[in-house]
Amino acid sequence: MIRLLEYLYSSKQKKYTSIILFCLLPFTVLLSSSGYATEKDATTLRLGGCGGVYFYAPAGELWVEVEKQDLNIRRNKTHLRALLFAPDRKVVDEAWIGDDGRAMRSGPGPVQRVLLRTNVERPGVYGLNITVTEDRYGENVSWGFRSNCEKYLIETSRGHKDARHEEPIVLRNAGRQGNVGFVPGIKPFSIEVSGLAQSMKEVLVYDNGNRKIITLPVSAERKTQHMFPADKSRIGDLWRLHLNDAQAVINIDGVTRWQRGEPWENLSLWTPDLSSWFPFHENRWLLTPYSSNIYAENGKEETVNFAVHNNSPMSKRVKLSLEFDDNAVWPATLPSTEVELKANSSVKVPLEYIVPSKGTEWKCYVRASVLDEIGFSTWSSVILHRGIAPALSPVKIPLKLEP
């Protein structure tokens, strides 16, 4: 079975994968011993909206199975595109799930699935990006995912609206339990839940020690709301919103909507499983740019700058190091191998290099690792090319534009 999946994902067979993998779905349970299924598969939620997932991936194989179900509310064609990308934003795998072809108002269609895979040579933050044609708000489809990566965070994201930025969490799992794990702010904040199932009488809120914080009663209109007062003791906490029937639209101040200047403004990160949490809020944009393409002449000594950013309200120290592909070391160095940053601040760090006398292209990786008890770490890539950048080369005219 594993060899069959590998064959399907060869370049010549990709166009058949969504059809054949759907047929093979009943047999995926047989693959659990090889890493193609996990116990957490049973807790995977089906979501509305678009967005994606960040995976804090260790070395080894990373696989993500994406599923989609057309709701067929409208007549628009909803083709889902899934991109799996590395820390330097290089796309390492991609797949399409086409519209199911059913008529408008015909009801939810069949669940379709595709598998994305890559080999993680260097641990870091990988990502899954989900977009849907003709449905930028994700109102006409539901999607979900499974993965062998234990650390992940969902980022809800939609198309732009001329209104206050909100990214409500939409759960479409009637008859199944579900959780929404999130970081509560220390300022006053509100939780609002609507669209609940008729069977729902209450929504429970727990802390990360599984201690119940509050029970929120559900009204006759299938809604509940609660305003939490300011509390500095919440800093660093993880909370869990539990629903016995995970069908709901959820808004949480500081998670799905924000006031200007809030610490995690516009970072709509959450998880259905608290054990999957990793410290991404405070380490987002730790090292930028994510990738650099450099052009230079033979023997030239140059410098390219990176920015190390502290996105947390506390100071931190960050270690910097260089990594090379096997047997591909070339003259690149980091004069600074450790920096200290104040809260919400950035500092530039140079990478110095000399263009080698032999070859045409060289690659290295700048790794940034936070020096604390967690040791969050990710990387950016650098590709050095001999010669003149295409952007500086003459442009042949006239320009012929084609579809």
Report which of 292, 299, 293, 302 is spatially closest to residue 355, judged by C-alpha positions.
Answer: 299
The values of phi and psi at residue 7, to 5°, are -65, -45
Residues 104 and 141 both lie in one domain: yes
Question: What gap in Å lies between CA 79 and CA 131, rounded to an integer?
Answer: 8
State residue 298's pLDDT score: 84
State residue 44's pLDDT score: 64
pTM of the model: 0.87
Has residue 140 been placed in a domain?
A: yes
Number of domains comprising the chain: 2
Has residue 238 been placed in a domain?
A: yes
Has residue 347 been placed in a domain?
A: yes
Three-class SS state of 270: strand
State residue 300's pLDDT score: 82
Has residue 109 been placed in a domain?
A: yes
Has residue 282 been placed in a domain?
A: no
State residue 11's pLDDT score: 41
State residue 1's pLDDT score: 42
- Choose the final residue of a domain: 213, 243, 276: 276
Residues 29 and 93 both lie in one domain: yes
First to last CA, the chain: 40
Concatenated DSSP letters of 325-377: -TT---SEE-S--EEEE-TTEEEEEEEEEE--SS-SEEEEEEEEEE-SSS--E
pLDDT in tens, 271-324: 999 999 999 999 999 999 999 999 998 888 999 999 999 999 999 999 999 999
Residues 174 and 134 both lie in one domain: yes
The H or E element spanning position 2 is helix 2-8
Residues 120 and 20 both lie in one domain: yes
- Choose the final residue of a domain: 249, 276, 303: 276
Residues 135 and 167 both lie in one domain: yes
Residues 265 and 291 both lie in one domain: no
Residues 253 and 306 both lie in one domain: no
State residue 346's pLDDT score: 97
- Choose the final residue of a domain: 276, 295, 316: 276
State residue 25's pLDDT score: 38
Residues 41 and 155 both lie in one domain: yes
Has residue 400 been placed in a domain?
A: no
Residues 132 and 258 both lie in one domain: yes
Residues 373 and 251 both lie in one domain: no
Question: pLDDT averaged over the chain?
Answer: 89
Has residue 174 been placed in a domain?
A: yes
Domain of 377, CATH number, reads 2.60.40.2310
Residues 301 and 256 both lie in one domain: no
For the chain, residues with pLDDT lower than 70 are 1-44
Has residue 395 been placed in a domain?
A: no
Q: Which domain holds residue 145?
A: 2-276
Please, are residues 117 and 31 in contact by the beta-carbon 8 Å criterion? no
Residues 331 and 198 both lie in one domain: no
